[in-house]
Structure 1
Amino acid sequence: MPFQRFVESGRVAVVSDGPKRGKLVSIVDVIDQTRVLVDGPTQNVPRTQLRLNQLHLTKFRLKIPHSAGTRVVRKAWNDNKIDEKWQESVWAKKIAAKEKRAQLSDFDRFKLRRARSRRNKIRTAAFLNLRKASSRDGTLYGKKKMAKGGDKPKPTKKSKPTKPQKTAPKKK
């Protein structure tokens, strides 16, 4: 099934536009193809209508009837611990990280760049050491090098006697 999140009563959504941007709301009722009635009991969003293109649907859903009152929505919201689930979601963590990056000063960005540079140098050195070690023992490309001739020890080379070197005659 291609779609997982449907516009339905009880669906939790994030307001993406307007004065309530970033707030969590629950869809209470569908007005028509483009508008829904929403309520955000813990986010200080009063019951109001919003356009669907102002909402981003989340995976969370409350079990509430159509046109449920604010008390019913608030009780279902608190029983399902939507605020805690939202804070643990990857989506909320990305939004928080984006806001934190936007608050950085020039000096903070400089310190962050220096820390990343140091981390990358350490990581690169460790990677090169591992690659060098795996290249030596033959596991770099996933294969162990086999010694030629099986388990026989390699014969040692016999040194040849060296001949005395002839020197060129000295010029006068």
Structure 2
Amino acid sequence: MVFRRFVEVGRVAYVSFGPHAGKLVAIVDVIDQNRALVDGPCTQVRRQAMPFKCMQLTDFILKFPHSARQKYVRQAWQKADINTKWAATRWAKKIEARERVMTLGHLNSDFVSFEGFEVR
């Protein structure tokens, strides 16, 4: 199996943990082997340095120049329609389903399932 998700300028990444967990960002510049300069103009993430450990790379790549300003990143983001493409992926649907189960955790408890068995 060939690895196809390389760290590159324009790659869209999912932030898995930290203060911006659950949001998408675009890699604007690679600082060093551990960090990248990221920007999420349409996901309310300000431009900042973020470690690669926090990010999971997606299949989406935006076309904008190296170290582009936020205006150009936003234009590329909206032109590629990343938010709707992300919402249509299986990855996003799994995350949404997991969050739905966690918010309804009190309804999916063992006691509720026990009551269901008792009724049958």
TM-score under structure 2 length normalisation: 0.88
**Residue pairs, 1:37-116, within 5 angstroms:** 37-109=37-109, 110=112, 114=116
Distance 1:6 1:38 in 2: 15
Residue segments in structure 2 that go unaligned for 5+ positions in a row:
none
Runs of 4+ that moved beyond 6 A: none
Structure 1: 5+ residue stretches without partners: 119-172
**Distance in structure 2 (CA, Å) of the matches to 1:75 and 1:107:** 42
Q: CA distance change for structure 1 residues 105 and 58 in 2, over 3 Å: closer, same or farther?
A: closer
TM-score (norm 1): 0.62
Q: Which has the higher contact order (CA 8 A, sep 6+)?
A: 2
1:31-63 CA distances to partner (integer Å, 9 max, x unpaired)? Answer: 111110000001110000001111000000001
Aligned match of 2:7? 7
* Aligned-partner SS, 2:56: strand
Mapped partners of 1:28, 1:85: distance in 2? 20
Equivalent residue letter for 1:6: F
For this pair of structures, how many residues does the alignment match? 115
2:29, 2:107 → 1: CA distance?
48
Larger radius of gyration: 1
* CA deviation profile, 1:56-84 (whole Å, cap 9, x unmatched): 00000001111011000000000000000
What does residue 150 of structure 1 align with?
A: none
> Residue 106 of structure 1: SS of its match in structure 2?
coil
- Please report how far the alpha carbon of residue 105 of structure 1 lies from its aligned counterpart in structure 2 after TM superposition: 4.5
Q: Does 1:35 align with 2:35?
A: yes
Q: Alpha carbons of 1:27 and 1:107: their partners in 2 closer, same or farther (altered >3 Å)? A: closer
Q: Give, as a single letter, the amino acid of the residue that structure 2 aligns with 1:21.
A: A
Q: CA RMSD in A?
A: 1.9
